[in-house]
Amino acid sequence: MGTGRHRIFWDRAIRWLSAFAILCILAILAILIGIISYNGWGKLSWEFLTAAPTNGMTSGGIFPAIFGTVALVLLMSIFVAPAGVFVAIYFSEYANRNSWFYYISRQAVNNLAGVPSIVFGLFGLGFFVQFVGKGIDRTFNGGELAYGQPALIWAALTMAVLTLPVVVVSVEEALQSVPRSYREASYALGSTKSQAVFRVVLPHAMPGVLTGSVLAVSRAAGEVAPILFVGAAYFLPHIPTRLTDQFMHLGYHVFIMSTQSPDVDATKPLLYSTVFVLLALTFILNAVAVLIRARMRVAQRSV
């Protein structure tokens, strides 16, 4: 153990080193946010948010990308929210926690959360576009190409698959925090299990459903790799109006502007502003999720 002075020295050294590590991480965060906000603030204007890109992305705005992102995440939520709720209800209310089926489906959700996003892109192309889309075309359109190509609907479904674990975890947490006495009171009044779940427990877990959906939306707004091959477009003259249209996406737009701009110096200010908008969007969504969750906890505590 060494002498007393040595021991005090090491005690201090380890405390300071670990404090230094966390300071480094906080500094990285501050630098990231600082640089992006400082450079991104300049070009930000109402016009930037409502105009289309012009002159090969060296001027104009990002409205089509914002519109495409919003359309994508709304459509995705329609698919992922109910699916996530049902899986979470199984985990929280119906599953026998010692059964093999519970174990395997739990592992599947955990693993799904760790699948690389580019693999979801391949899956979207191989399954939704080539298999489902082509299948629809063959069966209903007489082989005419409509669904068997990259489209908004396939991108939304791919994103829904990717964000399913986010919703499941969040909803399950909310279901678990509904006090047991609520379920018992409901049974005491003669309700069946499904009535207790859907009329008593689930309504109280609604903030969790909302939190999960918001987190999923925030994730989907920033993911680019999964939609590279299933519907995101480089540039479109019109905003998408049908499910089979391609669309522009904020994250993809950032990627395109950073790597394929014809004039880097002219694009840079716009690029910073686009990144700023994307980052602000994800952070606001995350903050909303945190607030809903905090309010839910307070409400539960007061019961």
243-272 residues near another protein, rule: CB under 8 A: 251-252, 254-255, 258-259, 268, 271
Q: How far is the CB of 271 from another protein (least distance, A)?
A: 7
Nearer CB in complex with another protein: 51/83: 83
Q: State both tokens at 252.
A: 């993809």
Q: Which of residues 80-99 bind another protein (CB under 8 A)?
A: 83, 86-87, 89-91, 93-95
- Whether the Cβ atoms of residue 155 and residue 252 lie closer than 8 Å to each other: no
Cβ density class 118-147: b for 16+ within 10 Å, e for less: eebbbbbbebbbeeebbeebeeeeeeeeeb
Q: Which of residues 23-42 bind another protein (CB under 8 A)?
A: 24-26, 28-29, 32, 35-36
Q: How far is the CB of 157 from another protein (least distance, A)?
A: 11
Q: How far is the CB of 279 from another protein (least distance, A)?
A: 6
Residue 223 binds to another protein (criterion: CB under 8 A): yes
Considering only residues 159, 216, 224, 227, which one is a binding residue for another protein as defined by CB under 8 A? 224
Which are the contacts of 194, defined by CB distance < 8 A and separation ≥ 6? none
Considering only residues 51, 52, 70, 122, which one is a binding residue for another protein as defined by CB under 8 A? 122
Q: Which of residues 173-192 bind another protein (CB under 8 A)?
A: 192
Q: Locate the DSSP E strands across the chain.
A: 53-54, 59-60
CA-based Rg of the chain, rounded to a whole angstrom? 24
Q: How far apart are CA 55 and CA 262, in angstroms?
A: 10
Q: Which of residues 37-76 bind another protein (CB under 8 A)?
A: none
- Whether the Cβ atoms of residue 43 and residue 60 lie closer than 8 Å to each other: no
- Whether the Cβ atoms of residue 66 and residue 49 lie closer than 8 Å to each other: yes
Q: How far is the CB of 255 from another protein (least distance, A)?
A: 5
